Amino acid sequence: MTIDTSKSTAILLIHCPDQQGLLALVTEFINTNNGNILYLDQHVDREEKLFYMRVEWDLANFNIPKNKIADYFATLIGQKNQMTFELHFSEEKPRMAIFVSKMSHCLFDLLARYTSGEWNVEIPVIISNHPDMADVARRFDIEYHVFPVTKDNKEELEAQEIALMEKHKIDFIVLARYMQIISDEFITHFPNRIINIHHSFLPAFVGAKPYHAAYKRGVKIIGATSHYVTTELDAGPIIKQEVAHVSHKDMVDDLIAKGRDLEKIVLSKAVNKHIERKILVYNNRTVVFS
């Protein structure tokens, strides 16, 4: 279900060790205080003995003021149950930055969804290591900054990028085919808040030209994976994956073209889930609520 932006709602994302009665505790907290639950989904991982929950409720008649909900919830329920939780409000539009290099396919799809009002998000700034996409940014009236990052200047330029993120109060970053490895230092500023997209293959190929490798190997399926960026390269929590069938008729160029379509679809689906506050991360895995 999409977030109903016509209402003022609160969204609570929780995870903690599983035990009896957790769900009842949380729903009672909301019901008792006159909150009308609009959406509830929970998951218990029986193997890891963990409890995950997402609940969204209407604040119209809720007894606890918005700015005190987190405090009350932590005191009354969270702490004694070792809960880690996030609280969001539908009225607070998340602010997103896009990092891009020279390829436009993901960028266009993100901006089209943004411009058409499909997403409850603000995109104040686009960052690139190349000038090529400036024209696309201009078409959508969004600030575009070029930081020509190299090994040597990376520390300095990333510091400037972080300052720019802070100036624009950026909540999360989307790497829309950004062909630059981000430093661990930068990543730790945005834990589980940088979304990346990369191609995936069955079997996997390492190295510089994966589509060429996939062609050589004669694969029948290609894929794309969207994940949060962690300091281990391309090994962060997976958000979304999709595949497409290919055949011997597909030359390297065809694989790349089909990969491009996959990348933009998968990245936009992952961003959508992030904007709707439907992703919980724990133990390098995601729970993605529907």
234 annotated active-site: yes
Q: Which stretch binds its own copies (CB under 8 A): 39-47, 69-77, 166-174, 184-192?
A: 39-47
- Residues 49-68 binding its own copies (CB under 8 A) are 52
Closer residue to its own copies in complex, CB, 124/164? 124
CA-nearest of 31, 33, 106 to 262 is: 106
Q: Does 44 bind its own copies (CB under 8 A)?
A: yes
Catalytic residue, candidates 4, 135, 234, 253: 234
The number of beta carbons lying within 10 Å of the beta carbon of residue 60 is 11
Burial of 255 (0-12, 13-18, 19+ CB in 10 A): buried
Q: CB neighbours of 155 closer than 8 A, spacing ≥ 6?
A: 183, 185
Pick from 45, 74, 81, 87: which binds its own copies (CB under 8 A)? 45
- Residues 216-235 binding its own copies (CB under 8 A) are 216-221, 223, 225, 234
- Residues 75-94 binding its own copies (CB under 8 A) are none
Q: Does 2 bind its own copies (CB under 8 A)?
A: yes
Contact status, residue 170 vs residue 96, Cβ threshold 8 Å = yes
Place of tokens 């997403």: 119
Q: CB neighbours of 28 closer than 8 A, spacing ≥ 6?
A: none
**Rg for the chain, CA atoms, rounded:** 21
Q: Which stretch binds its own copies (CB under 8 A): 71-79, 149-157, 184-192, 252-260?
A: 252-260
- Residues 152-191 binding its own copies (CB under 8 A) are none
Catalytic residue numbers read: 234
